[in-house]
Amino acid sequence: MTWRSLFSLRMGFGPAASSLDPLQRRADRTPDPTEPVRADVAGAGRPAPVASGGLALVGGVSVAALGLGLLLMREDVPRWLGFWGAIVVLAGGFLIMLRGLQLFCRTQPDRWFLPAWIAFALAMGAAQWHGSVPLFVTVSSVPLGLVVWRAAWVVRHELAAEFGTRAAAACAWPFWTIGGVLVLRGLLAPLAPGWVGGSLHEAGASNLAASLAFVASGLVLNLGLVGLVCSRLVRRLQQASEHDVLTGLLNRRGIESRLHQHARLAARRGQRLSLLSIDADHFKRINDEHGHPAGDEVLQALGQVLHTVIRDSDLAARAGGEEFWVLLPDTDADGAAELAERVLRAVRALQVPLADRQLALTVSIGVVTADHPLEPVDSMMRRLDAALYQAKAAGRDRVAFGTSEIRRGRPAAALA
């Protein structure tokens, strides 16, 4: 059984895998969009959603600007182009911008864009043929406002998980404002035609308020989108600096920062904290006999095993070379020992495909638990190193437990 098939089978170990109720398998969780994507499953050659969304936003703004230009030049262009054509082009720009926002937010684009645009064009033609200015304003304004409100909903709900509720709401309110002005204008057109007026370039309180709202909201919208792009870029750079490129797990920097955070949290709450150190046995010999590409395959396979076996609350990292760490928040020594044995069995069942053979692997695992919530991280790390060394010295392919510096009389134990 290869490590790829092992990952696809979700690490099924029969009763041994299912009996550990608190240690739920990692494969059962929903994928986190903020996690790095492995290079072998990233889908090379596909355009990035952010880049496609940016192009769509720029294209939508350009098309909308063309529509507004035709609207303002209606006295100098054919009547059908200055009224019907301008509004239809403006609506097309709004729909393109909405699709761009959906791509930027990584949500599934709506399928009704083209049918809605065609229906809108036909309704606008009927309203212009009827000759009623209030009807023309209603038919043109309300659908555009609803499209803008749909964009507001996308920004508010789809970006909240990534950037937070406040940031998403701040970026959504310009859309709500522009959409509200358009819908209000369309609803008031048949009720107060004198106050609404016939077109945006005519004088009037309604048109002045609408123009100011468009300008102010547009400025805030542009600044908000720039802020979102910059924030996403910063998050990506931070993620890249804390993750291992080869395995997709946390790197040493990422796991150390989280270790200190969880240690402080455990001290405040009086909880247990455990840590595993997992080292591939005879890794240097694998590199010497099969080459470094084979060594990379081994490291990727071990990373997939950890990704599959550990719980949602656990954190796995490649600490360096062939050594991996697993941080187990709110886990006592018994829970850490059971998870370590599961990792041991999973690696024993692993077969890494090479050019001429299937390579079997084993690992040595050191386990420590902070029996006292106030035990310093440095003390845990010294005990973890000693436990891993003991597992290696006892013959490898086993689990060893570090003695506590708080309770020095407790001996270390080793499991074959």
pLDDT digits (tens, 9 = 90+) for 182-209: 888 888 878 876 665 555 445 455 555 6
Q: Give the pLDDT confidence score for residue 222 in this predicted structure.
A: 63
- Per residue in 50-60, pLDDT (tens digit) is 567 667 777 77
Identify which has the larger pLDDT, 413 or 302.
302
Identify which has the larger pLDDT, 265 or 374.
265
Residue 43 has pLDDT above 50, yes or no: no
Q: Give the pLDDT confidence score for residue 18 in this predicted structure.
A: 33
Residues 64/87, Cβ–Cβ less than 8 Å: no
Exposed, middle or buried: residue 220 (CB in 10 Å: 0-12, 13-18, 19+)? middle
**DSSP β-ladder status, 399-401 and 363-369:** parallel
**Which of these CATH numbers, 3.60.20.40, 1.20.120.1630, 3.30.70.270, 3.30.1440.10, describes 3-23+248-415?**
3.30.70.270
Residues 33/159, Cβ–Cβ less than 8 Å: no
Kindly give the residue spans of alpha helices, DSSP state H, lying in 105-132.
113-130
Residue 256 has pLDDT above 80, yes or no: yes
397 falls in which pLDDT band (50, 70, 90)? very high
Q: Percent of the chain, pLDDT > 90? A: 26
Residue tagged 């547009």 (tokens): 218
Kindly give the residue spans of alpha helices, DSSP state H, lying in 275-351.
283-290, 292-309, 333-348
Domain definitions of the chain by residue range = 3-23+248-415, 49-240
Burial 60-79 (b: 16+ CB within 10 A, else e): bbebbebbbebbeebeeeee
